[in-house]
């Protein structure tokens, strides 16, 4: 009798476990995307949302992750620190997502990181940034200054015979950070910085700066302005003043170059992703985006393409360890790679990613022509204390 009861109990437990396991397998894996649907990032957000949707659609069509369907949870972070805290809080504690894949401004990322740590959720940060942000749960697949500055400076030194440089930027963390790094890099390579000028972050009257450039006659100009208005006004005023020296812009993306048209022509830029990358993987990606979104397509860019890759990297990591358990997935994220539109990427350099960087030049019609590809540019020791 007793054995029978025991057997009955056991089998009941087993049956329940089986049922719940079955239900578990059918449960979708939720992946959170916090993005600036409102505020400053709302210009780029639609492209990021579209590439996330494509990645999820493709992964689901191929059977999902670990046989489970993937579900997107998109939350507005209002492009700022307070909004990002709310958004991450919602994703981690209410929606209980398995991972977060999101671009953020640096301020917003720093504000949200404690929530990621507390919730122990793997987080793939998909934006380029000024570097050296370290967290146990975070991986980065965008570029850092070490990777972006080198192609522009190397090209100006080698192909343009430039010896003297003039640096121009807006007075905020990205502008200062990028140009400080650029200055060090130029001096390390034997070039000379003969002028460095900053305008307030909302400043767009470059009159005095342009006059200074004119008077010191540098061989090349490199700028790191705030995106949008200051960047556009600098380009317009340089063109208006008839300046023809080689000009490298560290703050421009392909889409902005296109809308700027004539004002951006001949400008040099450095990027890990450009739509004109000539590989089968990129052609397939662009074709799939065009097919899915048609006339509503937002041109894929430096922020939306890493977003797409990150879903595949998460899939690879989860399938490698056979689970969505954060403690197992987080170390695995460094061990997996994905061959995507930018080439093969693996987030294995102290949580950052060696990337192939492309030096592009904006053409008269606004498209970007790739002049040179610098393969596997190392991000350097960004987080030496993390492994």
**Which residue, 63 or 228, is less far from another protein as judged by CB?**
228
Site for another protein in 222-281 (CB under 8 A): 228-233, 236-237, 239-242, 256, 259-263
| Contact track, another protein, 128-167, x by CB under 8 A | ----------------------------------------
> In the bound complex, what is the minimum distance in angstroms from residue 126's beta carbon to another protein?
20
Q: How far is the CB of 171 from another protein (least distance, A)?
A: 6
Q: Which is nearer to another protein, 115 or 238 (CB)?
A: 238
Which pair of tokens denotes residue 264? 């951006």
Position 199 contacts another protein (CB under 8 A): yes
- Residue number with CB closer to another protein (223 or 282): 223
88 binds another protein (CB under 8 A): no
Give min distance, CB of 53 to another protein, in A: 20
Q: Which range binds another protein by CB under 8 A, 47-55, 142-150, 194-202, 340-348?
A: 194-202
How many whole angstroms separate alpha carbon 303 and alpha carbon 50?
11
Nearest-angstrom CA–CA distance, 303 and 76? 16
- Output the smallest distance, CB 362 to another protein, in A: 13
* Among the listed residues 22, 63, 161, 200, the single contact to another protein using CB under 8 A: 200
| Residue among 10, 25, 94, 205 that touches another protein (CB under 8 A) | 205
Judged by CB under 8 A, the number of residues near another protein is 36
Considering only 197, 292, 326, 348, the residue that binds another protein (CB under 8 A) is 197
Which positions from 300 through 339 interact with another protein, judged by CB under 8 A?
Answer: none
Q: How far is CA 182 from the centre of its chain?
A: 20
95 binds another protein (CB under 8 A): no
384 binds another protein (CB under 8 A): no
Give the residue with the Cβ less far from another protein, 142 or 255: 255
Q: Please, which residue, 200 or 322, has the CB nearer to another protein? A: 200
**Positions that interact with another protein (CB under 8 A):** 42-43, 171, 197-200, 202-205, 207-209, 211-212, 214-215, 228-233, 236-237, 239-242, 256, 259-263
């Amino acid at each position: 009798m007793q054995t029978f009861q025991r057997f009955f109990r056991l089998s009941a437990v087993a049956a329940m476990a089986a049922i719940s396991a079955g239900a578990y397998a059918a449960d979708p894996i939720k992946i959170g995307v916090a993005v600036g649907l409102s505020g400053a990032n709302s210009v780029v957000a639609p492209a990021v949302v579209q590439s996330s949707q494509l990645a999820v659609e493709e992964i689901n069509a191929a059977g999902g992750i670990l046989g489970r369907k993937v579900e997107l949870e998109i939350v507005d972070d209002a492009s700022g620190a307070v909004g990002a805290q709310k958004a991450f809080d919602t994703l981690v504690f209410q929606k209980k997502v398995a991972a977060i894949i999101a671009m953020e401004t640096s301020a917003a990322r720093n504000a949200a990181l404690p929530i990621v740590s507390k919730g122990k959720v793997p987080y793939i940060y998909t934006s380029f940034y000024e570097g050296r942000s370290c967290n146990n749960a975070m991986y980065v697949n965008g570029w850092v200054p070490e990777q972006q500055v080198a192609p522009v400076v190397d090209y100006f030194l080698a192909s343009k015979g430039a010896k003297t440089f003039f640096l121009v930027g807006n007075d905020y963390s990205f502008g200062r950070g990028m140009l400080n790094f650029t200055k060090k890099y130029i001096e390390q390579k034997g070039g000379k910085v003969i002028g460095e000028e900053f305008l307030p972050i909302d400043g767009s009257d470059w009159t005095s700066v342009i006059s200074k450039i004119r008077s010191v006659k540098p061989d090349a100009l490199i700028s790191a302005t705030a995106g949008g208005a200051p960047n556009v006004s600098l380009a317009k005023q340089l063109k208006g003043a008839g300046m023809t020296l080689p000009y490298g812009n560290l703050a421009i993306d392909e889409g902005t170059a296109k809308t700027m048209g004539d004002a951006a022509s001949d400008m040099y830029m450095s990027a890990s992703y450009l739509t004109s990358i000539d590989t089968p993987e990129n052609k397939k990606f662009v074709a799939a985006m065009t097919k899915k979104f048609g006339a509503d397509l937002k041109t894929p860019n430096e922020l939306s393409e890493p977003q797409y890759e990150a879903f595949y990297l998460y899939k690879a990591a989860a399938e490698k360890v056979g689970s969505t358990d954060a403690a197992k997935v987080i170390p695995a994220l460094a061990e997996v790679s994905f061959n995507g539109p930018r080439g093969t990427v693996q987030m294995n350099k102290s949580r950052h990613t060696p990337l192939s960087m492309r030096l592009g030049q904006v053409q008269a019609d606004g498209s970007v022509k790739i002049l040179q590809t610098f393969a596997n540019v190392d991000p350097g020791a960004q987080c030496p204390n993390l492994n």
